[in-house]
Structure 1
């Protein structure tokens, strides 16, 4: 199912108020998150909240992994990500603004790790967030590659609700964690947000 062919828009209310919609996203040290540096995306909930995120082959078998998993072990920080703003001339990442998210990996898959909204999974009745997106070039052809960061309680959450295409009908929903029957934690659209924090790698 193509996300641009949906006939209705799922109601969605953003968590941030208009007065804070342009607030900078802050890392665990209180510093502004910037486009370019590497950051680990970690769960705010520690203990049984799991670890960081990584690309991995779960539902499919590709040379460059397409699924995105959350590690069970909280000591496993996963792979860091790099953010790209819709306005490439500005460096500070702000809430409620469109960004690309790319796993940083110095391998042949380096440009294959950009987040995007995957096709609807008919078996699981679910949209998953996967890799294989395109960086930059905001518009109709890349609408599935843009996400937003919103303030959420004591941390942040990712939201899929791109505004890079004014005439496109898109779904708007939080990004959360779906646990499969085998216990694998997959990044997916969800009614329960995945509450995260950002840790700069160096």
Structure 2
């Protein structure tokens, strides 16, 4: 009888402990006003650290070719073009940390390609993978692996990260998205292993 009572008390204590454990909740990305990032809203991606350029824009890098690359504006006062974030699998449209996202510029260009971001293959001259446009919107899987990015927490801010999980059998090389200044002074977004690009999101 004592053994049964002791087991019952232990079970009640264990149940009570589980009830007190906090639920695991996905962390929502917030804009500069403290509001939730949403897939149906346009935002400027801006640098947290000032003094090294402004928002993000499109560039042909001076060679007149398409698709256009994603670069940081030279002027700190420039916001660049706004973007939208489109999750691979979200029904409520709220953008969460570590969620697979298409990032798309809200801009019209002379190129026939889309303004959806994608990570290119390794560049022969630099050995780096640069962020360009011309990606496919939606259709998560192996064929669109280069089109998916994440927003992660970095210190008390955010960073962009390439590590898609839209393909169970794929093993992408996961890297931070940072700024690479090329020989012509273009501040190009690239997959880097050193200092990531600290960003914030300002609603248009």
Quickly name the TM-score band, shorter chain normalised. Answer: 0.7 to 0.9
Q: Deviations over 1:8-47 (max 9, x none)?
A: xxxxxxxxxxx9872000000100000021000000012x
Gaps of at least 5 residues in structure 2 are 1-22
Q: Which residue of 2 aligns with 1:83?
A: 85
Count of paired positions: 181
- TM-superposed deviation, 1:109: 5.2
Cα RMSD for the two superposed structures: 1.9
Q: Does 1:35 align with 2:39?
A: yes
Which of 1 and 2 has higher RCO (CA within 8 Å, sep 6+)? Answer: 1
- In 1, Cα distance between the equivalents of 2:85 and 2:110? 19
Gaps of at least 5 residues in structure 1 are 1-18
Structure with greater helix share of residues:
2
8 Å CA contact retained: 2:28, 2:95? yes
- TM-superposed deviation, 1:49: 2.5
Q: Deviations over 1:67-125 (max 9, x none)?
A: 11101111110000001011242210000110000000145658611001101101111
- In 1, Cα distance between the equivalents of 2:122 and 2:173? 12
8 Å CA contact retained: 1:21, 1:96? no
Secondary structure (helix, strand or coil) at the match of 1:123 reads coil
Aligned residue among 178, 187, 196 for 1:193: 196
Q: 1:162 to 1:34 in 2, by over 3 A?
A: same
Q: Which residue of 2 aligns with 1:23?
A: 27
TM-score by length of 2: 0.83
Question: Over alpha carbons, which structure has the higher Rg?
Answer: 2
- In 2, Cα distance between the equivalents of 1:60 and 1:169? 33
Q: 1:120 to 1:60 in 2, by over 3 A?
A: farther
Higher mean displacement: 105-114 or 78-87: 105-114
- In 1, Cα distance between the equivalents of 2:112 and 2:26? 30
TM-score by length of 1: 0.84
